[in-house]
Amino acid sequence: MALMVILLIASACSVESALDDATCENDEDCEPYGICAQGWCVAVDGDTHPPPDDADTSCVPETDTEFCMRLGAECGVVDEQDNCLQPRQVSCGELDGFGCASALMVCDDENRCACPAIEEVSAADLCQRAGAECDTISPASLCPEWTDAAPVDCGTCPEEDCGDVLDNVCGCPCLIDGDCYAPGEASNDYPCRICDPEKTDDQFSHAPEGSECGDNAHCRDGHCICDESYKDCADRCVDVDSNPDHCGECHRSCAESCVDGKCVCQGDGVEQCGQHCVDLRTNDNHCGSCNRSCGIGEVCSDGSCICDEQQGYENCGGQCINTDHNTHHCGDCFIQCGPNDGCLSGECHCFPQCSGRECGPDGCNGDCGSCTGCQSCSADGSCVDDDTQCDPGESCSNGQCECIPQCTGLTCQQDGCGGYCECTAPGAECCGTDCCDPSDCCDGTCCSTGTCCNGNCCSPGEICVNGECSPPCDPPCADNEYCDGTECQCMVEDEDGDCVDI
């Protein structure tokens, strides 16, 4: 007996010696004699070996999830010391990610989920737990340890077919808009309404108050509403205090970030203008304030629009002028160039004004060209025909003097240019110095009113008889007769001496 006491004392001393000044990160560093607490090993009997004087003895308590994970507890209530050796009681089965996978599973003495013996559960209970009204189910779907259990028969349907819409369900518990829902299942379109076959109107009941129905949303009176501090923007619950796409209100987007419902841009002097963060000190389109644009020849400097001297602009009477090219301010403000001058590199230069001109002065003490022949320069700088440059009786045509035929009031005579004044009437020809139809021309004289008789033109009404003009017979002769100057004579006679018609 004394020997055993000695061995126990020696053993205790060796344990304490092994744990003295031993640091740790977890319980494995302290096995097999103790556990890890506050970074130092603690004996299993509860005696703590004090750390050195300069050691950091502060302890950060573990979370409930870390507490249950460290102890390997899946379900039930655990009453143990935490990592800081403080007593703690945690319902591990109620934490996210914990609890038994099936309602049929039980929590054993070690807070581990386990399946009861299948013989202890009735077929009716299995079918009820599975929500099955008909056909067979596999017990393994309720408890993973029952993989070898035989299928359970849950009966048949009285009228409807089994599994038409939902497996192991007779008919459809809730048929809404062509979609079938199981009891307790939420509607696809209205997540705060759950299938309730006992209701006869719309077969849906309100989901429990506060049930989640989407990100940052919960159910109230059967409607999905946004959580506190969230706002419904385009069917999404968003935090308008921090969401850059809905900052302060729906659809108000930020270029960078949203803080307390206001768009915030990074950097001194940087603010949001439209959809962009801009530096109001240097931005030419937003100089000093949003949408305040600098004009032509201006740049933004320290929030004010000034003339861009690097590009040759100067302030001339309150306007930014490029003195390299401006004819009113050439080289410096208010230096005016001449009417035909241009400003080039700050100096006035005369530029000949000959665009579209053939002749005349160019505006720079020169000319744009000269005209040839009988042409002269017009006021618009064009060379035009000028008859005054030709002799009398001539005209200027395409720069050449040409004779003008003098036929005004004249016919069948010389035109003065080596030509002849022709008849102008249609079908008329010259007859002497007159114009008439060729059939009326009588030896150089037009007989348009009488008969041509032996080179003489008879007076109106006279006829030619034996080469002389004679008055007509009275009465007039017939068509087959002619007047011999005194009486009608037969043109052709027959054997009897009578006139023959011709």
Count of CB atoms within 10 A of residue 442's CB? 21
What region, left, alpha or beta, does residue 474 occupy, with left being phi > 0 and alpha being psi -120 to 50 degrees? beta
Alpha carbons 72 and 66: distance in angstroms, whole number? 10
Alpha carbons 116 and 118: distance in angstroms, whole number? 6
Residue 64: what pLDDT?
92
Residue 47: what pLDDT?
47
pLDDT at 3 over 50: no
Alpha carbon of residue 386 to chain centroid: 64
Choose between 48 and 22: higher pLDDT. 22
- Give the sign of the dihedral formed by CA 18, CA 19, CA 23, CA 25: positive
Alpha carbons 180 and 400: distance in angstroms, whole number? 106
Strands 113-114 and 106-107: antiparallel
Find the DSSP H helices in 290-424.
none
Dihedral through CA 453, CA 457, CA 458, CA 463, nearest 10?
A: 30
pLDDT at 22 over 60: no
Residue 454: what pLDDT?
84
Query: Among 25-34, 36-45, 62-71, 294-303, which stretch is predicted with the lowest mean pLDDT?
Result: 36-45
Confidence grade of residue 77 (pLDDT, cut at 50, 70, 90) = very high
pLDDT tens across 127-179, in order? 888 878 888 888 888 888 888 888 989 888 877 778 766 788 887 778 767 77
Please count the CA atoms within 13 angstroms of the CA of 358 that sit on its side-chain side.
11
Helix (H), strand (E) at residue 69 = helix 64-71
Residue type, 456: N
Cβ atoms of 25 and 44 within 8 Å: the answer is: no
Confidence grade of residue 493 (pLDDT, cut at 50, 70, 90) = confident
Residue 316: what pLDDT?
92
Specify the length of the chain in residues. Answer: 502
Per-position b or e across 294-307, b if 16+ CB within 10 A of its CB: beebbbbeebebbb
pLDDT tens across 441-491, in order? 888 888 876 788 888 888 877 777 777 787 878 888 887 777 777 788 887
What region, left, alpha or beta, does residue 178 occupy, with left being phi > 0 and alpha being psi -120 to 50 degrees? left
Alpha carbons 389 and 434: distance in angstroms, whole number? 36
Mean of pLDDT values over 406-429: 82
Residue type, 172: C
Confidence grade of residue 38 (pLDDT, cut at 50, 70, 90) = low
Residue 200: what pLDDT?
64
Query: Among 172-176, 293-297, 382-386, which stretch is predicted with the lowest mean pLDDT?
Result: 172-176
Residue 198: what pLDDT?
78
